[in-house]
Structure 1
């Protein structure tokens, strides 16, 4: 009876160890993706210009953030059972999605503003040129 009970106990402990290792691996993967998101947001905050090269880089960084966020969501869905820490991960995941969408909308707005500013400057330049020509009697 003792040997049967100890075998059963080893089987239970082995199962518990495997569950713990799986949970540990899952948390490590989630934390790695959160670190990547944090790094991308830090890189994203460095861009201040609105030229096409920087806007392209910003788009790539936002895509990386969204991709890591989707990976985190998939990993959270693989959780073995309900846990408060996974609830926190899920809340952070939702906030990252909202921040990335907000950041994307801000960059789009900034680009639009910069584009409108360039168009207004071009109109102003053309108008000044026309005023000079009219005053010079060319028309």
Structure 2
């Protein structure tokens, strides 16, 4: 990657860095702090009591931000698989980090929800209308985007 290419990638990666920082912030909250938020949501969707929507939504967003960082207007399946893998790796570090936060612990179900969110984000951008919108935005907003 040339220096201008590296600088462009660094700029494109800013949304992913911000999403990762937000995930880290919420991951660093104690169990008591987070437990005050969950009952509100679970009251609205009681059938999803065992599904952690916070992880799903966070990693859905992280996957889209990682995909943006790649700068491809029509991302390949290989690129999308790399995005899901990156989300999984970050999810592993997130679960490890939770070992050191009072009232939190690593949980494979959380990692599962992370990966479901990332994978569904990649399927979401494959939908015809969403794919066209994503392609348009990448071409318009990212100078030198790969087609």
- Bin for the TM-score computed over the shorter chain: 0.3 to 0.5
Higher relative contact order (CA 8 A, sep 6+): 2
Structure number with higher helix proportion: 1
Radius of gyration: which is bigger? 1
Q: Given the two structures, how large is their TM-score scaled by the length of structure 1?
A: 0.34
